[in-house]
Amino acid sequence: MPKMTFIERNGQPREVEAPLGLSVLEVAHKHGVDLEGACEGSLACSTCHVIIAPEWFDKLKSPSEDEEDMLDVAFGLEKTSRLGCQITITEALDGLTVRLPPSKKAG
C-alpha cells in the first residue's frame, strides 16, 4: 500500500498508509491528522490546505480553476499550496510528503 508523510504543525513527520483512491484529506482523517476539511471535500472552503513538498509538486495534476479560487483565501499560502481534497492517492504518489500550514494567524 502506498505511504505518505504529513509534516505536522509542530514540524514532526508522520508517515501513514495512504490507500489508493482516497484524497489527502481522507487519508488525514483516517489517521487522525489535524486537517479540518470543513466542507468535507466539496471544494467550498480552504480548510484542507496543505503545502506540497517541492519535489512532489510537479507530479500532481494541475489545480482546477475552482481549486485556485479557494486557495486564494487560504491562510499561509505558499508556491506549492494545494487543497488536500483535490489530490487523489495513486501509485505514482507513493511517498508523497505534505506539510500542514500554520493553523491560524498569530496575534
Q: Over the stretch 83-107, which tens digit does the pLDDT of each residue have?
A: 999 999 999 999 999 999 987 644 3
Residue at 37 is within a domain: yes
Give the mean pLDDT of 12-26. 98
The reported pTM is: 0.94
Residue at 107 is within a domain: no
Residue at 40 is within a domain: yes
CATH number of the domain that residue 91 is part of:
3.10.20.30
| Residues contacting 14, CB < 8 A, separation 6+ | 5, 6, 7, 8, 31, 33
Rounded to 5°, angle at Cα 61 from 56 and 67: 105
User: What is the span of the domain harbouring residue 15?
Assistant: 3-99
Domain count, the chain: 1
pLDDT in tens, 49-83: 999 999 999 999 999 999 999 999 999 999 999 99
